[in-house]
Structure 1
């Protein structure tokens, strides 16, 4: 089953020691691109986080946010440097006197601007404890996110199947229109040459060979056969397991290439109009494929 590269998952964890939000967002990308933002206390988990993500996600940009209301992920003790606060208060009064400023304008916030007055010291937490909690929460979020990607994949599967059906129907029209095209080209070339060139000056064998050559150059049966094959292959990959986005992207490019070749060889207005419709459908397919893992 195909999976979209778009997904979202979020959780909040709270106990006596920890309080944090964990959020994962994924969008389409050519490769697996992992970006993690978390409190410095969890930096030792970066490799384990990356390995866990790769267990569930093969392709796409993955943004992970682990946030806490405080700078640290656990409880924080606040220590006050009273000596420094008193000293700052006295110094501010001296400055106010010297500058002719009312002492009433000095307030507590002026002292607290000094980061050394209030010192936030996070509680020391065991690394194994942190790893168990954080990785466990992350795995639950990843499971939720993968389910979302699967649901979006079902919608993509439905749209792609519909577009492939439309493409095949148009290709069937091209095949019908091209049934006698080679003979038509030969007849048209022979008639044009016969009407404009003195038959006494024409080598009939050479003329026949040239007509066959130009008729072969405008024949589109090989392109039609290859395009049918590409459509069948695309349908098979839609039902395959695992990451298939890159393969589908390659096949859609090949489908567009064959369609462009058919269009460049075509002279019938019906054929040209049908190939224009086919290229429009393939462009839709290519856009949809960009979001498949």
Structure 2
């Protein structure tokens, strides 16, 4: 049992006075705290008092005590946000001034535009093109170098501004493939599919299908399936297929073509944000150098076959 009435004594081994408490013959030493620990404690108490006086500390009903310095984390945050807004305003002014085809000449500005475009892409574009811009069936992959109307900065910007097959916009990207349902006999259709697949090495050449292709398809898709950017006709002699490359999928596309649509972003996004989006898409890996050859800018785009 503890003996609370014991008279403190000095321990012979340690030379330290006991506290007077004893439990089953075990006595408690009354060892004083180290001086450094006490000094640290006193310093923290003093600092706490000073902090309460200088800075906001005690919460009240609608606010906290302000402190004699009048500092607040909200005012500091507001100042930091104002500085960030000023920096963004300067960046946006530079982007608004520079023609997009000259953007690569300023590497620092280009990097900032790409970063801003990446953020805008996550908000506005991932729903269709995916978080990695790899697309899916019916939605173009923006990472490769296969472009329906062209893949330079100016072409991509034009597509973003006017969209693809957008009603009410006379300058929208527009290409139409007519349906061939009821036009060919089954044997003719099979021969044509054989030839189309042979252009990318997926089937053996078919002479009859080649003639049908030359009579009906080559005017848009080219004699060897190279496509036409002027007409927005997809390339058929590569391994990239927007709606699938199986025999059934190619047949379905010939009989009843699927025609994709992309919204125009003019009016939804400001011109600078659109320019940043174009820079980001261009940076994904398939972007082309700008070549000033087209008389009509409507002949270039970021959609793929």
Which one has a larger percent helix, Structure 1 or Structure 2?
1
For this structure pair, what is the TM-score category when the shorter chain's length is used for normalisation?
Answer: under 0.3
**TM-score normalised over the length of structure 1:** 0.27
Q: Whose strand proportion is higher, 1 or 2?
A: 1
